[in-house]
Homo-oligomer: A and B are copies of this chain.
Amino acid sequence: MKAKITLKDIARELEVSISTVSKALKNSEEISRDTKEKVQAFAKLYNYKPNNIAISLKNKRTKNIGVVIPDIVHHFFTTVIRGIEKYANARGYNVIVCLSEESFDKEVINMEMLANGSIDGFIMSLSSETQQKGDFNHLKEVTEQGIPVVLFDRITNEIDCDKVIIDDELGAYMATKKFIEQGKKNIALITTDDYLSVSKARTMGYIRALEESDLGVDESKVLKLPSMEMDEKSIKKFMDSQELDAVLCVNEIFAVYSMRLAQQKGLKIPEDISFIGFTDGLLSKYANPSLTVVSQHGERMGEVSAKMLIDQVESEEEEETYQTKILEPTLVIRDSIFH
């Protein structure tokens, strides 16, 4: 086992000082060609690589960014991570992933752990529990320490920081409008309670589209589940109690599941009943029929978040003005509605 070699080791071997070695490796003008060559050759031979930790301590820059998300077994978050990772890597940053598992306490613990020097900034999406509690002190503390934060998707207005979201209201509006244009009359919405920022926005878009039309909103056609967790019974009960010809769902799982319920009742998709979901994951693509969705462009969101964060980390002055980037959702048309 050949342990890592340090500047000190090289200096000792070559009988020069550490600073000479340091400068030589940086190709400094101050050092003679001779010594530089000697040092560089030696360093190469022994595969010298500077120690990241030491550099971090010196520079007060870790080149790590902390990503705190509620759930990783979820296509949307997964694509966001990929976007973050790609962009961050390209700029020389590593990504530390922490999962809050939708728990407030875990979110707090994770942030505290990372905030003590492990990372240069945070990219995060709030846990449902955090949004429900409305307690954002852990975020406040971090931003007050001068650690940049970028919130994405599940955000809060209580914290002053950069934010990236898609226009959820518009996405739901577009989807609902599509139904209306295709002549659907009984359009349901399966969503979650309003404390989730995204659900709230989507519900608003649904309502706006209906109110703009002649149809109007029928409260009984809106199912609000307590969480994003699958609740087969409630959905079945809801679907059985209604005469529907279109259903908008706040995620793809709800949509695919309710599609199946409809099929079991002998309904034809999209003739008798159409479906649109949110999240453009594998499930939508390979469902039968394939599911039309409002794509949230997770990867793009990740890239944008990472860019905003790193720009802020690397800008000297502390930003005084934070921006919120709103990405446009896109309707990906598949077989669960008329083409």
Is B98 touching A98 in the complex (CB atoms < 8 A)? no
Contact flags A42-53 to B (C-beta < 8 A → 1, else 0): 000001011111
**Does A14 sit at the interface, judged by CB under 8 A?**
no
Determine if A96 is an interface residue (Cβ-Cβ < 8 Å). yes
Residues of A78-100 at the interface with B, using a CB-CB cut-off of 8 Å, are 78-79, 81-82, 85-86, 89, 94-99
A121 CA / B33 CA spacing, docked (Å)? 38
Chain B residues within an 8 Å CB radius of A256? 286
Assuming the A-B contacts A51-B117, A263-B288, are A82 and B72 also in contact, with contact meaning beta carbons closer than 8 angstroms in the complex?
yes
Bound CA span A96–B112, Å: 16
Q: Whole-angstrom distance between the alpha carbons of A151 and B116 in the complex?
A: 30
Contact check: which of B57, B79, B144 meets A2 at CB < 8 Å?
B144
Chain B residues lying within 8 Å of A16, measured Cβ to Cβ, are none
B78–A72 touching, CB < 8 Å: yes
Q: Are B145 and A1 in contact (CB under 8 A)?
A: yes
Interface residues in A292-329 (C-beta closer than 8 Å to B):
318
- Which of chain B's residues have a CB closer than 8 A to the CB of A318? 1
Best-buried of A51, A256, A286 by chain B (most CB within 10 Å):
A286
How many of chain A's residues have a CB under 8 angstroms from any CB in B?
56
Q: A64 interface residue, CB < 8 Å from B? A: yes
- A227-273: which have CB < 8 Å to B? 253, 256-257, 259-260, 263
Taking the complex as formed, is A56 at the interface, i.e. its CB lies under 8 A from any CB of chain B? Answer: yes
Q: Separation in Å of the A60 CB from the closest CB of chain B?
A: 8
Which of B81, B89, B99 makes the CB contact (< 8 A) with A82?
B99
What's the Cα separation between A114 and B146 when bound, in Å?
Answer: 26
Check if B75 sits within 8 Å of A81, measured CB to CB. no
A89:B94 contact, CB within 8 angstroms? no
With known contacts A1-B144, A85-B98, A288-B260, A53–B283 Cβ distance under 8 A:
no
Bound Cα distance A4, B112 (Å)? 12
Q: B116 touching A50 by the CB < 8 A rule?
A: yes
A268 CB, nearest partner CB in chain B, Å:
14
Complex A-B: 9 CB contacts under 8 Å: A1-B144, A1-B145, A4-B117, A53-B62, A72-B82, A72-B85, A96-B96, A263-B288, A282-B282
The 4 closest A-B pairs by CB, nearest first: A51-B117, A52-B117, A53-B117, A256-B286
Given A49-B115, A94-B98, A96-B96, 15 other A-B residues pairs in contact with their CB atoms under 8 A: A1-B146, A4-B116, A49-B116, A53-B118, A54-B117, A64-B96, A64-B118, A72-B81, A73-B78, A95-B98, A96-B97, A257-B286, A282-B283, A286-B287, A287-B287
